[in-house]
Amino acid sequence: MSHPSHAAAPPVVRVRDLRVRYEGEAGPVDALRGIDLDVPRGSFTAIMGPSGSGKTTLLHSAAGLQTPTSGMVELGGADLSTLDATRLTKLRRRRVGFVFQAFHLLAALTARQNVELPLRLDGKRADPRRTQALLDRVGLGARGEHRPHQLSGGQKQRVAVARALITDPEVVFADEPTGALDIRSARDVLGLLRALADGGQTIIMVTHDPVAASFSDQVLFLADGVIVDHLRRPSAPEVASRMATLVESAERAANTVEIV
């Protein structure tokens, strides 16, 4: 969890009784079935759970990328359900940052231009000193003029992290940020995320990897659309063991359905 000095501050993300139902072809799917969550400012939270447990749905709902069926999401004090489409777009552009598994950098742009893109899309000018400071922060101070094809996977993801930070967002949401990286680059990126959280940046990350989760302050375990467990100051073996239990019971439940 966050440093004790943050304890009295209001949570940067508040989720109450969040529910998401998809109308699937084979009938409705309740992807989230009543999530309550407070995320302290400056904390690093990992979300884990078996495939289909609702991780991505939770991340997207908390980030304002999708509208829940019911319940409340508050981000930096703004209740997302009260925002019209224009305000929601502004909130997504200015107050949240995203990091994706597949980097999503534009191939034709340099690292510097990729980092500045969120500001340009918002009709703003980038301060070159700020861009340079962010490139320095992610260890790519000398690579600002490189294009994505001239960078390694880990370097591309670090550009993506700098891009997520350019608007000084309330929260950085990361969806499997190390899923496409080798072990060493993954650790570099996780170390960077950890350092950002230590510097006060709030980070929420979906991951399948217990080692990645061990860089966080707290791990939330989802199963079948509810939070069933959480670990503070997690170690990778502890996370792996809880995940193994969850996956086992998810498989048992799936088998039961087949037998019935």
Ligand X SMILES: Nc1ncnc2c1ncn2[C@@H]1O[C@H](COP(=O)(O)OP(=O)(O)OP(=O)(O)O)[C@@H](O)[C@H]1O
Using rule CB under 6 A, residue 57 touches ligand X:
yes
Name the segment binding ligand X (CB under 6 A); options: 8-16, 23-31, 95-103, 126-134: 23-31
Which of 34, 52, 71, 179 binds ligand X (CB under 6 A)? It is 52
**Rule CB under 6 A: is residue 29 a binding residue for ligand X?**
yes
Stretch near ligand X under the rule CB under 6 A, chosen from 36-44, 54-62, 100-108, 187-195: 54-62
- Structure tokens that stand for 9 in this block: 């501050």
User: What whole-number distance in Å separates Cα of residue 234 and Cα of residue 238?
Assistant: 7
Show contacts with ligand X in window 63-82 (CB under 6 A): none
CB 35 within 8 A of CB 18: yes
Nearer to ligand X, 6 or 21 (CB): 21
- DSSP single-letter state for residue 253: H
Joined tokens for residue 206: 């979906």
User: Residue 56 interacts with ligand X (CB under 6 A)?
Assistant: yes
CB of 67 to ligand X, least distance (A): 12
For helices 111-121 and 128-137, give the axis angle rounded to 10 degrees: 130
Q: How deeply is 51 buried, as exposed, middle or buried, from its count of CB atoms within 10 A (0-12, 13-18, 19+)?
A: exposed
148 touches ligand X by CB under 6 A? no
Instruction: Tell me: does residue 88 bind ligand X (CB under 6 A).
Output: no
DSSP designation for 81: G
Side chain identity at residue 167, one-letter code = T
Q: Counting contacts by CB under 6 A, is residue 2 touching ligand X?
A: no
Question: Taking CB under 6 A as the rule, does residue 37 contact ligand X?
Answer: no
Contact 12, 170 (CB under 8 A): yes
Interface residues with ligand X (CB under 6 A)? 22, 24, 29, 31, 49, 51-57
